[in-house]
Amino acid sequence: MTAVERPKVFGAGLIALDLVVGLDPQAPVRSWAGGTCGNVLSALAYLGWDSYPIARMNGDPASVRVRDDMARWGVRLDYANCGPTAHTPIIIQEIRRGRDGRPKHRFSWSCPQCGQWLPGFKAVTIEAVEKVTPALNGASVFFLDRLSRATLMLAAQAAERGAVVVFEPSSKATDKMFAEAIGIAHIVKYADQRLAGVQGVMKDGTATLVEVQTLGDQGLKYRHRLGRSVSNWLHLGAVAAPRLADTCGSGDWCTAGLIAKVAGRGQVGLRQAGAQGLRAALRYGQALAAWNCGFEGARGGMYAVTRKAFDQQVTALLAGELDNFTEGAVEVGPESIIACPACPPKPPNRKALARGRARLKRAAA
């Protein structure tokens, strides 16, 4: 795939630093770019897309790590530091075994050192609209998972230019902006653990062509408007995971797989995919989700296997072959990444200061 052929995706939403505490208490904390938007855009870059996150990174240690990690996978960072800049969100993911012995994860938004809240999400502002809008020409997809007036303006501009707008709501909302997002989005995807349903998705006047509700290990259900009318709800059972290390991020991989298969040519390509193309794309997304379950962290597998092995393993999963799945060593990032603004600075080491003064006196003598 040449640079000219690579589809473009822009995304605005939760882009954070994930600090992953695994099952092994002796293993170092792993630090990777995360958040729903961060994971989807990083996964799409891995799959051969030009991904452009729109964020407000201010150069703090967390944002430096996020930028470095995303850049490793080819994510374009042209619009990652839109003003006014702010601290990058930090999320702690702790993996533990449940009573049934299966790995479970929980998230924390407070600093384990000082107990204060870690930096949270701050939406992009109108300044980002002015900066990013000219670049939306030729975009295939605009992804959003958090709402603000600026994000909706960017999504609407992308839609006018032919991009597929993908909305993945993080929580239930009934306000005006939520209704606007439903009216703009062509694909609306959400998890049953967060939302029982989203009102108004397929009403006349909305742009929605596909609605997807994921059901955890029960698969997913979906309906679409790619034919003459709205289809009935259709069910796809889950692709069996060959190994269960962590389910975090599997929904993001499902989203990335769906986008990669039906939205590379924008709205035109999505419509032309039809019912069969949509089903195949969702199945591919489910295979990516199952593959991801074999690794700790939302994108841990990207650091554990080669891209060639990834393609082979996903192909095997789609064919129902669970044995062709090898585990690699997951790379560990820098450990001292938590940069909590509320943490007091460490007190100076008095002995070290005394030694330093003595050296200066000897040098001056």
For residue 334, say if its preceding peptide bond is cis, omega within 30 degrees of 0: no
Q: Which of 6, 89, 13 is nearest to 53 (CA)?
A: 13
Calculate helix-pair angle for 149-160, 176-184, nearest 10 degrees: 20
Read off φ and ψ for residue 268, nearest 5 degrees.
-60, -45
One pLDDT digit (tens) per residue for the chain, 365 residues: 444 479 999 999 999 999 988 898 888 888 899 999 999 999 999 999 999 999 999 999 899 999 999 999 999 999 999 999 999 999 999 999 998 989 999 999 988 767 888 999 999 999 999 999 999 999 999 999 999 999 999 999 999 999 999 999 987 666 889 999 999 999 999 998 766 667 778 888 899 999 999 999 999 999 999 988 999 999 999 999 989 999 999 999 999 999 999 999 999 999 999 999 999 999 999 999 999 999 999 999 999 999 999 999 999 999 988 775 656 666 655 544 444 666 666 554 555 545 545 554 555 55
- Ordered structural domains, the chain, with CATH: 8-331 (3.40.1190.20)
Q: How many CA atoms lie within 13 A of 213 on its CB side?
A: 15
Total-model pTM: 0.90
Block residue for tokens 């993945």:
168
Backbone angles phi and psi of 359, in degrees to 5: -65, -40
**Helix-helix angle 307-318:266-292, to 10 degrees:** 90
